[in-house]
Amino acid sequence: MNILVINGSPKGERSNTLRLTNAFLAGVCNSQEDCSPAIEILHISQMDINPCLGCFSCWKTTPGQCCIHDDMPSALEKLLWADLTIWSFPLYFFSLPGKLKTFIDRQLPLSLPFMNSHAESGGHPARYDMSGKKTVLISTCGFYTANSNYDSVTAQFDRICGKGNYTTLFCGEGELFRVPELSNRTDEYLAVVQQAGREYAFGGIKEETNAKLQELLFPRDVFERMADASWGIKQTGEKEDVSLTFTKQMAALYNPAAYPGTDIILDMDYTDIGKRYRIILGKTESRVVEQFSEKPTTVIHTPFSVWQSIAAGEIEGSAALMKHLYSVEGDFDLMLKWDDYFGQHKSADISKDKPTSNGKTDIGLP
């Protein structure tokens, strides 16, 4: 099998979507017992692709050949070579990134100029035999869900490929795949994507797997609070300290279902940078404040760098405490039930699982 990956992300190899695509490819490759598929990857952002001139030279002057001398002719050869083409791209303004749309426009040489009377709304027949070729669209977006956000994309590929003639894997909350502190949840999702690749290679993604792919990484309110905090900008437009942004994102993971009946006041005292923030865990939500006077329930005295390392899974939290890398003042019950309060959410539910044996932890898990 010949597989062509068209990476339409302007971020190239740093693409969040490409992580999903690589997981899907791993599944496809693991399913091939007799031979390994040949894989080619086109990073559109690195290619010389100019806009279509609309001159129709590829139809009437040099049939099948574009008059523009750039990287597109070789890309068209790859499209003809591939048995499976995977379009990997982020959602940009409810559609495709600009250069990827240019790439699509430049596929005109693959069509014949004559009208296709069999197309319901009009169209042009393919210049080459494209029967048997398969197409998969893999994309992430910055909204909490993919639902309704890809209507423009599917409308376009319905015309290009025909309805029902391609497979989609659309995932909301895509920016989370670049956050190491959330790798427990994102790695879990990537494992499902890999399973989808295996199933696709054997005839199609199963309904059960598709259902898992539709699950939210985090509930909407949790994701949107983390997303808003990630910009590092206050409501006034003033840039905030990175430690405040980090603390807000940690607080966004709070699970109100664990509320003990009275508010918990947690102070994060970052001893190496002289910053102290208060997280108030209330009945329905958490909030972070910078100015406060009331006595806290619990204070965590820690270098900010240490807590970042714990959050990223570079240091195991309880081991760091035993080594006196940070200390706790006040009610220690919060620390014992940390997973209940800040454990990573799975879909619309709350996961209370303990850290995995690989040492990866939730944001701020001690």
What does the chain come to in residues? 366
pLDDT at 315 (0 to 100): 87
AA identity, residue 132: G
pLDDT at 366 (0 to 100): 45
A 10 A CB-CB count for 191 gives 14
pLDDT digit string (tens) for 108-146? 999 988 988 776 777 888 899 888 899 999 999 999 999
* Closest among 6, 183, 228, 21 to 96, alpha carbons compared: 6
CA distance 233 to 173: 20
| Six-digit token string for 48 | 């010389």
Percent above pLDDT 70 for the chain: 92
pLDDT digit string (tens) for 186-212? 999 999 999 999 999 998 999 999 999
pTM: 0.82
| Helix %, strand %, coil % of the chain (to 5) | 40, 20, 45
pLDDT at 227 (0 to 100): 87
pLDDT digit string (tens) for 305-342? 999 988 888 888 889 999 999 999 999 999 999 989 98
Residue 175, CA distances (Å) to 186, 209, 291 in order: 10, 22, 31
Q: What are phi and psi of 155, to 5 degrees?
A: -60, -40
In the predicted model, what is the mean pLDDT of the chain?
Answer: 88
pLDDT at 37 (0 to 100): 84
Angle between helices 242-252 and 220-230 (to 10 degrees): 180
Residue 217, CA distances (Å) to 92, 223, 239, 366 in order: 20, 8, 28, 22
Percent above pLDDT 90 for the chain: 67
H-type helices in 82-128, by residue range? 98-105
3-state SS assignment for residue 43: strand
**Structural domains of the chain, ranges and CATH numbers in brackets:** 2-213 (3.40.50.360), 220-350 (3.30.1050.10)
pLDDT digit string (tens) for 79-102? 999 999 999 999 999 999 999 999
In sequence order, the 6+-apart residues with CB closer than 8 A to the CB of 137 are 86, 87, 89, 153, 157, 166, 167, 168, 169, 170
pLDDT at 230 (0 to 100): 84
pLDDT at 279 (0 to 100): 96
- Local confidence band at 33 (pLDDT 50, 70, 90 cut-offs): low
Q: What are phi and psi of 60, to 5 degrees?
A: -115, -25
Residue 348 buriedness (CB in 10 A; 0-12 / 13-18 / 19+): exposed
Q: How many CA atoms lie within 13 A of 346 on its CB side?
A: 12
H-type helices in 41-111, by residue range? 57-60, 72-81, 98-105
- Local confidence band at 182 (pLDDT 50, 70, 90 cut-offs): confident
* CA quadruple 209, 212, 8, 63: dihedral sign: positive
pLDDT digit string (tens) for 248-303? 989 998 999 999 999 999 999 999 999 999 999 999 999 999 999 999 999 999 99
- Local confidence band at 345 (pLDDT 50, 70, 90 cut-offs): low
pLDDT digit string (tens) for 210-263? 999 999 998 898 888 888 888 878 777 789 899 999 999 899 989 999 999 999
